[in-house]
A = this chain, B = another copy of it.
Amino acid sequence: MATLTYRDALNEALREEMQRDGDVYLMGEEVAEYNGAYKVSRGLLEEFGPMRVVDTPIAELGFAGIGVGSAMTGLRPVIEMMTWNFALLAIDQIVNVAAKIRYMSGGQIGCPIVFRGPGGAALQLGAQHSQAFESWYAHIPGLKVVMPATPADAKGLLKSAIRDNNPVVFIEGEMLYNLKGEVPEGEHLVPIGVADVKRAGQDVTIICHSKTVAPALNAAKALSEEGIDAEVLDLRTIRPLDEEAILRSVAKTHRVVVAEEGWYFAGVGAQIVDLIQREAFDDLDAPVLRVHQADVPMPYNKYLEKAAKADATKIAAAVRRVCYKD
Residues of A within 8 A of B (CB): 61, 85, 88-89, 91-92, 95-96, 99-100, 103-104, 126-128, 131, 135-136, 138-142, 239, 241, 262-271, 273-274, 277-278, 281, 284, 286-290, 295-297, 299
Indicate if the CB atoms of B88 and A103 lie closer than 8 Å: no
Q: Which residues of B contact A287 (CB under 8 A)?
A: 277-278, 281
Q: Which residues of B contact A91 (CB under 8 A)?
A: 88, 91
Indicate if the CB atoms of B103 and A297 lie closer than 8 Å: yes
Indicate if the CB atoms of B273 and A265 lie closer than 8 Å: no
Q: Nearest Cβ in chain B — how far from A25, in angstroms? A: 26
Indicate if the CB atoms of A290 and B265 lie closer than 8 Å: no
Of B128, B136, B142, B296, which is within 8 A of A136 by CB? B136
Of B127, B138, B241, B269, which is within 8 A of A103 by CB? B127
A-B contact pairs, 6 of them (CB 8 A): A103-B297, A104-B126, A104-B127, A267-B271, A278-B290, A281-B287
Q: Bound complex: CA of A16 vs CA of B161, how far in Å?
A: 54
Q: Which 5 A-B pairs have the closest CB atoms?
A: A270-B270, A135-B266, A88-B92, A281-B287, A103-B297
Indicate if the CB atoms of A138 and B266 lie closer than 8 Å: yes
Minimal Cβ-Cβ distance residue in B for A132: B139
Given contacts A278-B288, A278-B290, 11 further A-B contacts (CB under 8 A): A88-B95, A104-B126, A104-B297, A140-B263, A264-B271, A265-B271, A266-B268, A266-B270, A267-B271, A270-B273, A277-B277
Q: Nearest Cβ in chain B — how far from A266, in angstroms? A: 4
Of B141, B239, B277, B296, which is within 8 A of A141 by CB? B296
Interface-central residue, A91, A103, A138, A141, by most chain B CB under 10 Å:
A141
Q: Which residues of B contact A288 (CB under 8 A)?
A: 274, 277-278
Indicate if the CB atoms of B269 and A274 lie closer than 8 Å: yes
Q: Bound complex: CA of A294 vs CA of B282, how far in Å?
A: 27
> Given A136-B136, A139-B135, A270-B266, is A104 in contact with B88 using a C-beta cutoff of 8 Å?
no
Q: Which residues of B contact A273 (CB under 8 A)?
A: 270, 273-274, 277-278
Q: Nearest Cβ in chain B — how far from A69, in angstroms? A: 16
Q: Bound complex: CA of A312 vs CA of B91, how far in Å?
A: 32
Indicate if the CB atoms of A297 and B139 lie closer than 8 Å: no
Q: Which residues of B contact A126 (CB under 8 A)?
A: 104
